[in-house]
A and B are shown apart, each in its own frame.
Chain A
Amino acid sequence: MSASDRRLPVIPAETAPEPPRLDFEALSRRLEAERGAGHWRSLEELAGAPEFREALGDERFQGAEGFDRRDLLKFMGVSFALAGLTACTRQPAEKIVPYVRQPEEIVAGGKPLLFATAMTVSGLATGLLVESHQGRPTKVEGNPLHPASFGATDLFGQASLYALYDPERSRTLQYLDEIRPWTAFLGTAREAADEERATRGAGLRILTETISSPTLASQLAGLLHDFPAARWIQWEPAGRDNARAGARLAFGEYADVVADLAGADVILSIGSDFLSGGPGSLAAIRQFAARRRPERDRGPMNRLYVIETASTLTGANADHRLAVPASAMESIVRDLAGALGVTAAGGGGGAFARFVGALAADLKAHAGRSAVFVGAEQPSAVHALGHALNAALGNFGRTLRTIAPVEASPTDQLASLTELAGDMAAGRVSTLVILGGNPVYTAPADFEFGGRLTKVRRRIHLSLYEDETSALCQWHIPEAHFLEAWSDARAFDGTASIVQPLISPLYDGRSAHEVLAALAGAPESSGYDLVRTFWRGKMAGDFEAEWRRALHDGVIAGTVSPDRSIRVGSPPPVVLASPATSGTQPGDASTRGRPTAAAQGLELVFRTDPKLHDGRFASNAWLQELPDPITRLTWDNAALFSIETAKRLGIAKEDVVELGLASRTLRAAAWIEPGLPDGTVVLNLGHGRKRAGRLGSGTGANAYLLRRSDALWSASGLSVRKTGETYPLACTQLHQNMEGREIVRAANLEEYEKNPGFVHEKEKEPDRALSLYPEYPSDTYAWGMAIDLSACVGCNACVIACQSENNIPVVGKDQVRRGREMHWLRIDHYYGGEPANPRHYFQPVPCMHCENAPCELVCPVGATVHSAEGLNDMVYNRCVGTRYCSNNCPYKVRRFNFYHYSTQFRAPSMRMLANPDVTVRWRGVMEKCTYCVQRINGAKIDSEIENRKVRDGEITPACAQACPAEAIVFGDLADKESRVSKLRRNPRDYGLLSELGTRPRTTYLGSIRNPNPALPEPVRTDFPHTELDRETGQK
C-alpha cells in the first residue's frame, strides 16, 4: 500500500450501482409525499428537474474531479440563473401518493413511530428504540429499559442506520458470482445435508461469530444433534479467550463478571477499555460519569487508575494513568497483588513502586467499594490475578457480580479455529457454512485461512457485505440487516431482547436463522416463527401478552442472568508463580496470551479500532469519517509512536514505515501520539480491508497481516524501517495544544473545593451592564445548553447521533484533509502536561448560539439571525455562501458545502436515510448546529396544541439523547427551575471565549479530576511540545 495507489473515495457516475427495481419505486414514491428532500429552488432542479425523479446511482463524495452530465445541466442552469430567472423559478409538479389501505397505527404524513429492538456487536446486545417515518427507519436511539443502554447509544448503534441503507450492501444471492434465487440455494442446502448425513456430519463445519442469541443457539444445538460429528466453531477476532481462560483459572469454570460502578469509589483498569466499545460500556459510562461530578449529588467523586499500553478512552479519563509496555504488565500486576497480600510479595514494583504502593493503599482503603477490571487483551494470568484482587478486596457481591456466561457456548475460540484450520488444510472439511464474520480477513495470519478455505468443497457465506470471505466462497448469501429480520440476543448481564425488524429486507437478505433452518431441512420456517417458537415455552404467563410486552419494552422480563455464587479460592499456584517462561505455552491455560518478553526491537500492540471495531464497520462512511477520539484521524489507521520513539527512529507524521515482524512486513503511515510507552508501536485492527466497498477498501493498513495466533494482542521483535515515502493522513485537529488559553478549564478536586470559582479566575464574561446595546426583551423560552466536561468521556456517540439526526453528509478523505469535514458537533481533544504521560481533555463543541453572535452581524443577506427564543437560526434557503459568518465565528462551528456533498442523498436508498424534518443542504450553503430545532418546534407545537408550556426535559437534542454520560443538558434558561438553569448557577459553569462578549448560550462545566493526594498530579493544561504541530493537511 503506497501513497500512490490511494484514490479519493470518489464514485464516478458510470460505475454507479444499478438502482434496484421493486422496493425503491414503492418506497421512494412514498417519499414524495414527505418534505425535507432539499432546496427545490436550487439550480439542481432549475436545470436538472427532468432527471431529478429518476432513481440515480450513488454519486457520493464528488471530489475535485468528475464532470458529468448533471454538471453540464447545472452549468446551463447557471446561465439561466445569471440571466436572473431564479426568482421566477416555477416549482416542478409533484405527486402525492396516498396508501390504498392505510395501516391504522400510521398517521399519514405525520408523527414517526418508535419500535424497540436490539443490536449485537460481538454477540452482546444493546437495546435500541428506532424511529420510523412512514415505515422507514430514520433514527436510532437507546432503549431506557435496557440494561446495556439506559437510553443511551454508542457509535455503532447510531451508525447502524447507515449500514441499513448503504447502497454498497450485498444485494443478491450469488453462486460463483452469478445471481441465483433463494430456492437454488435451498437445493444446495438439501443436497449438502443429505450428503453430510451419511457421515453424521463429519465434514460439516459451521463457523459463526460469538453467539448469544438463544434461538440461534438452540437451532445450532438441534443441527449438531442431527449431525453429531459436525463442528460449530465460533471466532471473534477481538475475542475474550484470555478472559475466559482467566475466569477458569480463578473460578474453575467459565463465568462473566458484571460491575455496578455506582458503588465503586476506586476503579482500577488493567488495560481494560471498559469505557468504550466493550460489552456494557454504555452502562459503565453512565455509572462511572454519574460519580465524576464534584457536586457529590450521586456520591463522592470516584477515582480511576489505569495501567495500559495503548492510549484508550479509559486511560484518557483516568485520574492516574500508567503507560507500560505490554510485556511489563503482568509483573506490575503481580507487584500490586503482592502489595495487597494476594500473592507472596512480588518484586516490590520496581520502577513503578511508588505508583503501585499508593494504588494498593487506596484500594485497601476502599475494600468492597472498589473494582478491578482487566482488559480482554491481557493474558489469562492477569485476568486470574484481577479476580483474585477483587476477591481479596471483597468486591464480589458488592461492586461486582459473577454470573453464568452470557454467550451461548463459551469456548476457547482460538483453539477451535486452529482445529478448523487444521481440518481444512487436511481436507477433512467438505461443507463450511460461515454465518456472519469475515474470517479470511480476521483469522490469525499464520493460519493462511484464505488459502486453506479453498480446500473446502462446499463453501457458503452469509454476510451483510460482499467481503474478503465471500470472494472465496461459492455461495454468497446477503445477510438481512438487524433492522430487517427477526432474532433475539442477550445483553452483557444476560438480559434477553427480541430483535424486531422495522422494514422488510431491502435486498431480499436472509438471517442466520433462515440459513440454519434451510440446512436443518425446514426452509419454510421464517425467522419470526423460529424466535416465537423458541420463546413460547420460556415466557411466564400468557404468551401473547408477554410477547407483546417483550416487543414493546425491548427486554424480556426476568432473563437477567442470576448471580452465580462462586467461591474464589486463592488462585492456583501456577498463576501465583511468577512466569518462569515468557510467551504462551501450548496447552497451559495459565500462560495463554502471555507476551514474549521483548528480546530485541520494538513491541507491536494491536487494539480494536474505536470506530471500525474489528473491521466489520469498515464500509460505514459515518464511522470512517468520524475522528478517532484521541489521534483525530479519519479514514485511516496509523502506526502510533510515542514522541521519544519517533525521535529515536527519526520518524515524522505521515511517513510511511515498514513494520517487520518475523517474516511478515506491513507498510503503514506513522503518527505520533504522546503517552505511549517508549519502544511500543500501536496499530489498530480493522483497516486496510481489500473488499469493503468503494469507501471502506484500502483505508489504512491491515494489522491482521502481522497478527499471529501466538501473539494476538502484542508481539515483540518488531522492526521499523523508514521507506522515505509519505502517505497523506486526514486529521481533523492539527493542534491538540491549548496554547495556554482558557479553553478547557480544569482543576483537581481539592483545589476546586478550596476555590470553587476557579473557572472564572483568569477569564470571565464582561459585565452585561457594560454593553452599549439594550437587552432584547424576551417573554418566551430562552433555549440553552450546558456541557459537563467532568462527565464527558469523549466517546463520540453524540457526533454520529448529530450526523444521523441532521442529514449531515460525509465528504470523503480528500475533503477532510482540506479542512472541510461537515460535523456540526465536534469533540475537541487537547493534551496537557508531560508528553510521556499527558492528561487528556475532551470538549464537545456545538454551536454556542451566542446572544451577541458575531456571525449574524456580518451576513449580508440575513441568512443567519436570532430567533425570539435565542436560537442562532441558520436559514439555508437564504444563504448565498459568502462564508463571512464562518470566518467571524470564534468557535469555528460553522460548516460549508464547498461541493454538492448531499449528492449522497441522491442514491434512492440514501434518500430513505434522510430525516424528513431536516432540510438537505445544497451546494454553496452554510450550515451548523441548530440545537435540533426540528425537535424544539415539534415539542412546541405539541405543547401549544395542549395550551401549555414545554416541560423541562421534553426536548432532547440528538447529542444529549445519545450521551451515555448525561454530560449534555438542554433546556429553557428562562425557567429558573429547569436542569440547565440549575447548571448555569453551578460555580463550575463558564462560557467558552465569553470574554469576547459573545454571550454563548452553550456553556461548559469545568473539568474536575480526582487524583490520589499521595500521588500528586498538578493540573496542567499546557503542552509545550511542538513535535505534534507539524502541519499536515492541504496538499
Chain B
Amino acid sequence: MSPLPAATEPPAALVAPPLYGLMAEFDTPGDLVAAARRTRDEGYRRVDAYSPFPIHELTAALGMKRTKLPIVVLIGGLLGCATALLMQWFASAVHYPINVGGRPLASWPMFVPITFELTILFASFAAVFGMLGMNGLPMPYHPVFNAPRFALASRDRFFLCIEAKDPKFDLESTRRFLESLGAHDIAEVEE
C-alpha cells in the first residue's frame, strides 16, 4: 500500500504579510539612475526610486509622463480671475448701485488689483493642492517605510523599489537582478 501524503500545516512563511516589493539601496545618485534605466530596460514597469533630493535624470530613466499640474494651475487662475471680476461687477453695478465719488458704477480699472490678486491666489491653491493630490499625499503610512534602512532615503542613501505587483516580479529572479545592479542591502518590503 502507498503512504498518504502528510496533511501538513502550510508553512508560516505563506501567511506572513503580503509582499510589497523589493527595496534595493545605492550609494550615489549615479548608481541609482543607471539602475533605474536598467530596470526599465529589463521590462519592469511598477518601479519607483527614492532619493534625498530631486534627481531629474530619474524621471526620464523611469520613463514617467510629464505631469498635468500646469493645466490644473491654469484652470485655477482663470477661475480666480472670473470670480473676482464677476463679484466686483455684481456688487458695485448690479446688486446695490451707488454713486461713489461720481465714478461710473462699473469702473473696470479699479477692479484690476483684486482681480489680479484672486487670480494668483486660486492658481497657487491649485498648484499646491494639485501637487499633493496627484502625489496622493498626505499618506503618513506607506509600505516602503517598512524597509529597515529606508530612513536614510532622507539623508544620503538612494533606493530603488520594484513592486510585487509588477507582472515580471519574481522574488528570487528580481532579487538576483537587483544584486546584478550593484545594489546592497536588498530588503523585502511588506505591505
Contacts and interface: CB of A to CB of B under 8 A. Distances in A.
Nearest to B98: A865
A855 B100 CA distance: 9
A852 B98 contact: no
Nearest to A866: B99
Contacts of B104: 773-774
Interface in B98-116: 98-104
A133 to B, nearest CB: 32
Nearest to A873: B98
Interface residues of B, number: 7
B9 to A, nearest CB: 65
A868 B100 CA distance: 11
Interface string A855-887: 111000010011110000000000000000000
B99 A852 contact: no
A862 B102 contact: no
A189 B75 CA distance: 96
Contacts, number: 33
Contacts of A852: 101-103
A776 B102 contact: yes
A325 B101 CA distance: 53
A917 interface: no
A854 B101 contact: yes
Interface in B19-55: none
Nearest to B102: A852
Contacts of B99: 776, 865-868
A856 B99 CA distance: 9
A560 B95 CA distance: 64
A850 B101 CA distance: 8
Nearest to A872: B101
A774 B105 CA distance: 10
A988 interface: no
A865 B102 CA distance: 9
B102 A853 contact: yes
A999 interface: yes
Contact of B101 (A774, A857, A867, A868): A857
A546 interface: no
B98 A857 contact: no
A776 B100 CA distance: 11
A868 B102 CA distance: 11
A857 B101 CA distance: 5
Contacts of A856: 100-101
A850 B100 CA distance: 11
Nearest to A774: B104
B190 to A, nearest CB: 50
A856 B102 CA distance: 9
A166 interface: no
Interface in A827-856: 850-856
A773 B102 contact: yes
Interface string B142-155: 00000000000000
Contact of A999 (B98, B100, B102): B102
A851 B100 contact: no
A853 B98 CA distance: 13
Contacts of B101: 850, 852-857, 866
A895 B79 CA distance: 42
Interface in B73-117: 98-104
A519 to B, nearest CB: 67
Contacts of B103: 773, 852, 857
B81 to A, nearest CB: 22
Most chain A C-beta atoms within 10 Å of own C-beta, residue among B98, B99, B102, B104: B102
A26 B37 CA distance: 96
A859 to B, nearest CB: 8
A868 B97 CA distance: 11
A862 to B, nearest CB: 6
Contacts of A851: 102
A350 B98 CA distance: 68
Contacts of A855: 101
Contacts of B98: 862, 865-866
A862 B97 CA distance: 11
A850 B102 CA distance: 9
A1014 B153 CA distance: 104
A809 to B, nearest CB: 28
A852 B103 CA distance: 7
Nearest to A858: B101
A369 B98 CA distance: 57
A878 to B, nearest CB: 11
Contacts of A850: 101
Contacts of B100: 856-857, 862, 865-866
Contacts of B102: 773, 776, 851-853, 866, 999
A857 B99 CA distance: 10
Interface string A53-68: 0000000000000000
Interface in A50-90: none
A774 B103 CA distance: 8
A622 to B, nearest CB: 34
B89 to A, nearest CB: 16
Interface in A773-792: 773-774, 776
A850 to B, nearest CB: 8
Contacts of A857: 100-101, 103
Interface string B119-143: 0000000000000000000000000
Contacts of A868: 99
Nearest to B92: A862
B87 to A, nearest CB: 15
A894 to B, nearest CB: 14
Nearest to B110: A857
A851 B100 CA distance: 9
Contacts of A862: 98, 100
A774 B104 CA distance: 7
A866 B104 CA distance: 12
B106 to A, nearest CB: 11
Interface string A698-711: 00000000000000
A382 B172 CA distance: 133
Contacts of A853: 101-102
A857 B102 CA distance: 9
A725 to B, nearest CB: 49
B88 to A, nearest CB: 13
A854 B103 CA distance: 10
A865 B92 CA distance: 12
A363 B47 CA distance: 116
Nearest to A856: B101
Nearest to A854: B101
Contacts of A867: 99
Contacts of A854: 101
B97 to A, nearest CB: 11
Contacts of A866: 98-102
Interface string A927-965: 000000000000000000000000000000000000000
A855 B99 CA distance: 12
A731 to B, nearest CB: 33
A866 B100 CA distance: 6
B100 to A, nearest CB: 5
B45 to A, nearest CB: 54
Most chain B C-beta atoms within 10 Å of own C-beta, residue among A776, A850, A868: A776
A999 B104 CA distance: 16
A367 to B, nearest CB: 56
A775 to B, nearest CB: 8
Nearest to A859: B100
A855 B103 CA distance: 12
28 contacts: A773-B102, A773-B103, A773-B104, A774-B104, A776-B99, A776-B102, A850-B101, A852-B101, A852-B102, A852-B103, A853-B101, A853-B102, A855-B101, A856-B100, A856-B101, A857-B101, A857-B103, A862-B98, A862-B100, A865-B99, A865-B100, A866-B99, A866-B100, A866-B101, A866-B102, A867-B99, A868-B99, A999-B102
Given A853-B102, A857-B100, 7 more contacts: A773-B103, A852-B101, A853-B101, A856-B101, A857-B101, A866-B99, A866-B100
**Those 3 A-B pairs whose CB atoms lie nearest each other, nearest first:** A866-B99, A857-B101, A856-B101
